[in-house]
Amino acid sequence: MKKLIIPLCVLLITLFTVLLDGDCLAQEQISGGRTLAAVTKPEVVAAAHFAVAEQAKVIEKELKTATKLSLVTIISAEEQVVSGMNYHLALKVKLNGKRKKAEATVWWQAWNKDAPYKLTAWKWK
The string of pLDDT tens digits covering residues 98-112 is 999 999 999 999 999
In this structure, what are the phi and psi dihedrals at residue 11, rounded to the nearest 5 degrees? Answer: -60, -45
pTM check: above 0.85: no
pLDDT at 26: 44
pLDDT at 22: 46
* pLDDT digits 0-9 by tens, 7-63: 655 554 654 544 444 444 444 556 678 999 999 999 999 999 999 999 999 999 998
Q: In angstroms, rounded to a whole number, what is the distance separating the alpha carbons of residues 14 and 18?
A: 6
Stretch 61-89: mean pLDDT:
94
Q: What share of the chain is helix, strand, coil (3-state, %, to 5)?
A: 30, 40, 30
In the 8-state DSSP scheme, what is residue 27? P
Range list of β-strands (E), 19-125: 34-36, 69-82, 84-95, 98-108, 117-124
* pLDDT digits 0-9 by tens, 34-48: 999 999 999 999 999
Q: In angstroms, rounded to a whole number, what is the distance separating the alpha carbons of residues 82 and 5?
A: 50
Q: What is the pLDDT confidence band of residue 91, given thresholds at 50, 70 and 90?
A: very high
**Residue 71 scores a pLDDT above 90:** yes
**Which residues are paired to 101 by β-bridges?**
92
CB 86 within 8 A of CB 105: yes
Q: In angstroms, rounded to a whole number, what is the distance separating the alpha carbons of residues 41 and 5?
A: 52
pLDDT at 64: 85
Query: Please, how many CA atoms are within 13 Å of residue 71, restricted to the half-sphere of its CB?
Result: 21
